[in-house]
C-alpha cells in the first residue's frame, strides 16, 4: 500500500476516525501530524465507541506503530487518560511513539485561550478553549516547551520560569486571572514526564527509516481543509496546517514519499464554531422557520451532529460542491470517502450547492476575499431522494439508483472519485469501491 494522507475535506467532523480505523490495517505506521486535543475522532470497535483526541486511530492495531508527530501539540494528561483507557480494555499502547519535538500544552495556555475567546465578545472564533492556539503561538514565537524539554527537569524548570515572567503578567494584569509558580507546574507535569518517557522517540528518523525499508505510512489528519491556518476560512480556523501538505512538515517525512491523498467528506456538511457557512440551514429552536429549519433539524438529529470534543450542536447544511472542488485542489486529492450517506435517506429531495451567488456574480470556486465568502449565497441543484434504509447495503450496486446518481453527481462536481461510501456507524457499514 502506498503511503497516504487522510485529510478532512470540509470543516472537520467528517468521519476521519472511522475511515482511518478502517484502512489503518493496510499500513505499517499511523501518524497524527497536526493539532491537539481540540480534535476528536470517533471509532466503533466490537460495538464499543471510543472518542480519541490525541492518540492516532491506528492504536487499535497492536502490531502497528502509532505516532504523535512533531506538528502536534500535546496535553500530557489527555494522552495518559487515553493510554489508560486502551490498556484497561486490553488494547496495548506499547507501539505508541511521541515526537520529542512536539510542543506541550501548559496550564496557562488553556487559561489564555478561554480569556482571549471571551474578550472577543460577539466576534468569537469558536475555540475549544483547550489551549491549542496559545501553544502554537509560543511555538512560532520560539518560546514553546517541547516534549524533550519535559523529560529534562533542569531545562523544564528553566523554561517554565522564563515563560511565567510573561504569562503571569498577562494573566494577572490583563485578565485578572490566577497566576502560576514554577513549583506548581512542576508538581503536575514532572510525574507526566516519568510515565511518558518510554513513549518519546525521534519519530522523523524512525519514519524515514521505515520508508527506506519499504514500509508504508498513513498520515492521519485532524480538523479539516476549511480550518487550515493558511487555506481555511481565516480567522475562523485552527492554529495548525491540517491540509495534506502539513503531513510532511508535521512528521518530518518528505512529500516525495507520499503517494495518495484520501479526502473525507460527509454526504452533507457541518461545522462547529463561528465563521461563514454558505449552505447552513437554520434550526427551529434558534428562530428558524419553514422547510429550511425542518431540514436543519433533520440533519442534526438523524446525523447525531454533536461535537466529540465539545458536545456542541454542530451547524448543518447541504453538500457544498464548491468547497469539495477547493479541497480537491488544495490537498491534491486522489480519492474521497463519502460518509453518512444513510442520513440523507430521510429526505424526499436532496440539494447540492453547485455554485455561489456573491452580490449578483456567480462563483464556481471559493472566493479568496473573506468578505465575499461571507456574502456567498448557495446556488442549488435538487436531486431526488431514495427514502429507504441503505444501512444494509454492502456494495455500490446494492444502493438505490437515486443514491448511486447522487454519488456520481458529487464525483463529477468534485473531480475526484468516491472510493468509500459510509452507510452507517459500524466498521462493516462502509462500501469499498476502489481501495486496494
Q: CB under 8 Å to 204, separation ≥6 — which residues?
A: 70, 99, 101, 251, 252, 253
Distance CA(149)–CA(25), nearest Å, equals 33
Distance CA(90)–CA(61), nearest Å, equals 12
Distance CA(215)–CA(212), nearest Å, equals 7
Q: CB under 8 Å to 67, separation ≥6 — which residues?
A: 29, 30, 31, 32, 56, 96, 97, 98, 99, 203, 206, 207, 251
Q: Which candidate, 166, 157, 147, places its Cα nearest to that of 185? A: 157
Residue 7's beta-bridge partner residues?
A: 263
Of the residues 28, 41, 64, 113, only one is catalytic, namely 41
Q: Is 41 a catalytic residue?
A: yes
305, exposed or middle or buried, with CB in 10 Å at 0-12, 13-18, 19+? buried
Beta 430-432 vs 4-8: how paired, if at all? unpaired
Backbone angles phi, psi at 95, to 5 degrees: -100, 15
Contact 319, 353 (CB under 8 A): yes
Of the residues 13, 21, 111, 138, only one is catalytic, namely 13
Write out the three cell numbers for 35: 493539532
Q: Which candidate, 171, 247, 166, places its Cα nearest to that of 211? A: 247
Residue 378's beta-bridge partner residues?
A: 356
Q: CB under 8 Å to 203, separation ≥6 — which residues?
A: 31, 67, 68, 69, 70, 97, 98, 99, 100, 251, 252
What are the catalytic residues?
Answer: 13, 41
Amino acid at each position: 500500500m502506498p503511503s497516504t494522507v487522510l485529510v478532512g475535506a470540509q470543516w472537520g467532523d467528517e468521519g476521519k476516525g472511522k475511515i482511518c480505523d478502517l484502512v489503518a490495517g493496510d499500513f505499517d505506521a499511523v501518524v497524527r501530524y497536526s493539532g491537539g486535543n481540540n480534535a476528536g475522532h470517533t471509532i466503533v470497535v466490537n460495538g464499543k465507541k471510543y472518542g480519541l483526541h490525541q492518540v492516532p486511530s491506528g492504536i487499535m492495531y497492536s502490531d502497528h506503530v502509532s505516532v504523535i508527530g512533531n506538528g502536534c501539540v500535546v496535553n500530557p494528561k489527555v494522552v495518559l487518560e487515553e493510554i489508560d483507557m486502551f490498556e484497561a480494555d486490553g488494547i496495548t499502547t506499547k507501539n505508541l511513539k511521541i515526537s520529542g519535538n512536539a510542543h506541550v500544552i501548559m496550564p496557562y495556555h488553556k487559561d489564555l485561550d478561554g480569556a482571549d475567546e471571551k474578550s472577543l465578545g460577539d466576534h468569537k472564533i469558536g475555540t475549544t478553549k483547550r489551549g491549542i492556539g496559545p501553544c502554537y503561538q509560543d511555538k512560532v514565537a520560539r518560546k514553546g516547551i517541547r516534549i524533550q524539554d519535559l523529560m529534562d527537569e533542569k531545562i523544564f524548570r528553566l523554561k517554565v520560569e522564563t515563560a511565567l515572567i510573561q504569562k503571569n503578567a498577562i494573566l494577572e494584569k490583563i485578565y485578572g486571572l490566577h497566576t502560576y509558580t514554577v513549583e506548581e507546574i512542576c508538581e503536575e507535569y514532572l510525574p507526566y514526564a516519568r510515565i511518558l518517557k518510554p513513549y518519546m522517540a525521534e519519530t522523523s528518523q524512525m519514519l524515514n527509516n521505515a520508508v527506506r525499508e519499504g514500509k508504508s505510512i498513513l498520515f492521519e489528519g485532524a480538523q479539516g481543509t476549511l480550518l487550515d491556518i493558511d487555506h481555511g476560512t481565516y480567522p475562523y480556523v485552527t492554529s495548525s496546517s491540517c491540509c495534506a501538505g502539513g503531513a510532511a512538515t508535521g512528521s518530518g517525512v518528505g512529500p516525495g514519499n507520499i503517494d495518495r491523498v484520501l479526502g473525507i467528506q460527509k454526504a452533507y456538511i457541518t461545522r462547529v464554531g463561528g465563521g461563514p457557512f454558505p449552505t447552513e440551514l437554520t434550526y427551529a429552536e434558534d428562530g428558524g422557520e419553514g422547510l429550511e429549519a425542518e431540514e436543519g433539524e433533520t440533519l442534526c438529529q438523524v446525523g447525531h451532529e454533536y461535537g466529540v470534543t465539545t458536545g456542541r450542536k454542530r451547524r448543518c447544511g447541504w453538500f457544498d460542491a464548491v468547497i469539495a472542488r477547493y479541497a480537491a485542489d488544495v490537498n491534491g486529492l486522489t480519492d474521497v470517502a463519502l460518509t453518512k450517506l444513510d442520513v440523507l435517506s430521510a429526505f424526499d429531495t436532496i440539494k447540492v450547492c453547485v455554485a455561489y451567488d456573491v452580490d449578483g456574480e456567480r462563483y464556481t470556486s471559493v472566493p479568496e476575499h473573506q468578505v465575499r465568502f461571507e456574502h456567498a449565497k448557495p446556488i442549488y441543484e435538487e436531486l431526488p431522494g431514495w427514502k429507504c434504509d441503505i444501512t444494509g447495503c454492502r456494495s455500490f450496486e446494492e444502493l438505490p439508483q437515486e443514491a448511486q446518481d447522487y454519488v456520481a453527481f458529487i464525483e463529477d462536481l468534485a473531480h475526484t472519485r468516491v472510493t468509500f461510501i459510509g452507510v452507517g456507524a459500524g466498521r462493516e457499514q462502509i462500501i469499498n469501491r476502489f481501495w486496494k
